[in-house]
Structure 1
Amino acid sequence: MNILLAEDDIKLGELIEFMLKKKSGYKVEWVKEGEEAYYYSISSHYDVLILDWMMPNGSGVDVCKRLRRERYSGAILMLTARDSVEDRITGLDSGADDYLVKPFEIDELLARIRALSRRNYAPIVEEEVNLHDLVLNRSSQTISSGGTEISLSPREFQLIDLLMQNKGQVLPRDLIMDRIWGYDADVSMKTIDATVKLLRKKLDSLGKHEILQSIRGVGYKIG
């Protein structure tokens, strides 16, 4: 099972991450801010999102509302120290599927995760993505425009797919690295730049010279 954990309490986050991996063998990615949680959620598939209510740069409630407005269909579990009935209603009305009050037992957390995963949420993935007469076909891993079609390498496809899913938004280079290669991969940030350069050549051949933009000191965006 693939889980995204968003928790800014370092000790609690370390404990949850350790126990989820050790006791259940889950794959866990841990972020500590609301904005990070949002970008990770839309950039990859997770079986369950675990969102802490109180986080910097966007609360769990804010992230949950934003995702649901954008038709995110995955399972979301809210963690919080707020335990009043009104708070529970707020959390659930934001779009969370379940609500767990701190402090809690890890075994209860695991049980709630298992229950959520059994609901078999499935993300809606379109075969084609369109942007300014540029068409990305996920089945054939090609881009096309004006009747011309070009094949992409696996990394080029992953990169443009990630950027087009988040069109108009700047994606930091370290997020791109994690989404496509993984933080533990034995590659440098120059690998991203090289992949972008190769992808740009293919976009240029389709007349899409300015669609992929570099944001100095931050990352890349398409739009």
Structure 2
Amino acid sequence: MNYQDILGNCSETTVSQLVSRCPQTLDVFRKYVPEIETHRQTPVDMVASLADVEPKQLCQELFDTVMEQTPIEDLETDVLLELILKRYDARHLEKLPEIHRLARKIEAVHRANPEVPKGITLAIKKLEYMLADHIERENDYVLKRMEHDQPPSPDTPIAQMNEEHSLIKTQLKKLRHMTRNYRTPESACRSWQRFYDELKSLDFRLSEQMYLERDVLFPRFQF
């Protein structure tokens, strides 16, 4: 997602405009320019120049603050789609191969340890395959048809996507059971701890995304 999707053009959006939309951004501005009240009509990129920081750094903090304070249910459809594609799907596809490698390493190095979940690599591989396949078809046949709030055609497989979400949830539940809710034993090495941390983070992001799609995005196109 680009900053301008939320902040507007940072060379045009002023401090006053952004603070009026999200009062919590004032604390971000004050951190860099304590006397920010005297610069309320100053564009965001000019504030970055005054503070001698990279505009990208300031914009990232402002963006994160706005996103934290804006109910996700109120985001426009195109913003939601961008969020799903870049903050969720892209991250899943980037992280899953790494998690798969960690699982394979843990099973190989600690194969004599009874606390290693047997079959965890295959379970991760199954999730990786399920998710890659699901993401590709969901993007091609569902999400692209919702751009600019255009009504998707009647054959858009929204119900099928929700069914696949249920299958993904079942696989995540299996992984939680296998890992005792991602609790590592005291003897776990750093790679093992990292593996469970990454897997737990993936679980959280997937659950968050499926809520976003099932309960926020898809109902906008189901009547």
Identify whether the pair has TM-score above 0.5, normalized to the shorter chain: no
What TM-score comes out, normalization by structure 1 length? 0.29
Compare the two structures and name the one with the higher helix fraction: 2
What TM-score comes out, normalization by structure 2 length? 0.29
Compare the two structures and name the one with the higher strand fraction: 1
Structure index of larger Rg = 2
**Greater relative contact order: 1 or 2 (C-alpha under 8 angstroms, separation 6 or more)?**
2
